[in-house]
């Protein structure tokens, strides 16, 4: 039994497959690379089409084919339009101050605390604070999502009722 899926490569996208399983997607100076290695999967690029196939009868191997297709589609979307996550700063009594210092997001005055909360910025992700919104953008979906999660997790309310203490930074949109 052969299971395969295809992606038609857009004309302005350049995709290279190297011997070690590394696939590099690039367009206009922006590039993402990732290593795709699996013992039962075969990846070929020819005539503007990426073909990923398996001859295994295992359902897990067929599922990995779909996963690789999704990863490559996300890489193509990343170099063409990028990913943008918007988070909202919410507070009731104590106004929070959110700022970006290098590769760290600093959160001050969370629930009136004097301490400084920090959230790491992963990879080449850009973070911009605009009044009540924090905009996280980049070309790698995993790095953008992890950075947004780090910011949300830094403001997690512990030891209090979440229905009452709703202060924090929350994800409101993904594009």
Domain annotation for the chain: domains and CATH numbers: 3-80 (3.90.930.12), 83-174 (3.90.930.12)
For residue 28 the two structure tokens come to 């206009």
> What does the pLDDT read at residue 111?
86
Show the 3-state SS of 20-85.
Answer: CCEEEEEECCEEEEEECCCCCEEEEEECCEEEEEECCCCHHHHHHHHHHHHHHHHHHHHHHCCEEE
pTM (2 decimals)? 0.89
> What does the pLDDT read at residue 102?
92
Residue 14 binned pLDDT confidence (cut-offs 50, 70, 90): very high
Q: Are 127 and 100 in contact (CB under 8 A)?
A: yes
> Whose structure tokens read 């992606």?
7
What digits encode the pLDDT tens for the residues 156-171? 888 888 888 888 999 9
> What does the pLDDT read at residue 157?
85
> What does the pLDDT read at residue 92?
87
Residue 27, beta-bridge partner list:
30
Q: Are 78 and 71 in contact (CB under 8 A)?
A: no
What digits encode the pLDDT tens for the residues 15-58? 999 888 899 999 998 999 999 999 999 999 988 899 999 998 89
């Amino acid at each position: 039994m052969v299971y395969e899926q295809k992606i038609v490569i857009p004309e302005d996208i350049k995709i290279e497959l190297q011997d070690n399983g590394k696939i590099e997607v690039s367009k206009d100076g922006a590039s993402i690379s990732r290593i795709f290695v699996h013992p039962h999967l075969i990846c070929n690029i020819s005539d503007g089409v990426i073909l990923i196939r398996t001859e295994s009868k295992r359902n897990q191997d067929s599922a990995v084919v779909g996963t690789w297709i999704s990863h490559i589609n996300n890489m193509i979307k990343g170099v063409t339009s990028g990913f943008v996550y918007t988070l909202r700063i919410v507070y009731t009594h104590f106004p929070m101050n959110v700022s970006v210092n290098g590769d760290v997001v600093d959160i001050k005055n969370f629930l009136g605390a004097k301490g400084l909360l920090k959230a790491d910025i992963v990879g080449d992700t850009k973070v911009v604070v605009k009044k009540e919104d924090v905009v996280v953008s980049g070309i790698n979906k995993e790095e953008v999502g992890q950075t947004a999660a780090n910011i949300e997790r830094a403001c997690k309310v512990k030891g209090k009722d979440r229905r009452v203490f709703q202060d924090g930074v929350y994800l409101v949109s993904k594009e």
